[in-house]
Amino acid sequence: MQKTKLLIAVLGTLSAATAMAADAPASSLTPSSNVAVVSNYLYRGISQTGASPAIQGGFDLAHASGAYIGVWGSSISWISDANTSVANSGTEFDTYLGYKGKAGPIDYDVGYLRYNYPGKVPAGTASSDTDELYIAGTYSIATLKVSYSLGDTFGVTKAAGSTYVDLSVNYPVGETGYTLGAHYGTQTYTSTDSSVDNSIYTYSDYKVSVSKDLGSGYALSLTGSSTNAKESSYTVQNKFLGRSAAVVALSRAF
């Protein structure tokens, strides 16, 4: 019942945000974009590139009402590494929409995110495409976010209702341009079929980071990450994708 109420609340907010954006003049829209090069694409602590570098980029369109839409993409290899019969294009392409607002001292963000993995999937093989709803609240330097999967989740079948809960803290160090970060998250896999045990994919991840604003939209960061994921569940091509790792990233926002 609680999950149903959460879904109804999120969808209702998104519908209202879309309506407000449609009624407002184009001058109320603010575009932005970003591009980055990373030494290892980690998502929720799991390498998406077999510990190899990736290039990434995205585009967002925000409305003065708080509504927004966006796209984001990255090079990946985990799908074809895990299953060579899947003709994945080596790309992740995400689309999302949401609404940001304020309730007292809390800045909130609710939305829908679709993870797309272009390519041909053979019959009988689960698609990695994933749909999630999310809701986040930020107070001061801390953000708590809950993501809720609507169906098969990153190739894990019958996983509707799986969640990712994460707590992040980002602390700007005075006027130095440095920001210190810390994060803890738990990816929980559930199953809609009692005969299927998806809990073998459940794990937690944690990381610390330091970033430096270089000016003109550029930023450089160093992140240390680790997980308690089961090696048997997250090893492909003899590589444990959840192992501890250090990641260097150079990004630019436009």
3-state secondary structure of 20: helix
pLDDT score at 4: 43
Give strand ranges (E) for 29-162: 29-38, 42-43, 46-47, 54-63, 67-75, 87-88, 91-103, 106-116, 119-120, 130-139, 142-149
By percentage, how much of the chain surpasses pLDDT 90?
80
pLDDT score at 3: 42
Both tokens of 137, joined, read 């609240």
Question: Mean pLDDT, to the nearest integer, of 174-202?
Answer: 96
Both tokens of 146, joined, read 């809950």
pLDDT score at 84: 66
> How does residue 24 score in pLDDT terms, banded at 50, 70 and 90?
low
In the CATH scheme, what is the code of domain 2-253? 2.40.160.40
CA distance 109 to 98: 7
Q: How many CA atoms lie within 13 A of 140 on its CB side?
A: 2
Domain ranges in the chain are 2-253
Given the DSSP bridges, would you call strands 29-38 and 245-253 parallel, antiparallel or unpaired?
Answer: antiparallel
pLDDT score at 142: 98
Give the chain's mean pLDDT: 90
Condensed to tens digits (0 to 9), the pLDDT of residues 210-248 reads 999 999 999 999 999 999 999 999 999 899 999 999 999
pLDDT of 19 > 90? The answer is: no
Look up the pTM and report it: 0.88
Condensed to tens digits (0 to 9), the pLDDT of residues 90-109 reads 899 999 999 999 999 999 99
pLDDT score at 134: 98
CA distance 209 to 179: 8
Both tokens of 234, joined, read 């997250």
pLDDT of 88 > 90? The answer is: no
pLDDT score at 119: 84
Nearest to 190 by CA among 149, 228, 230: 149
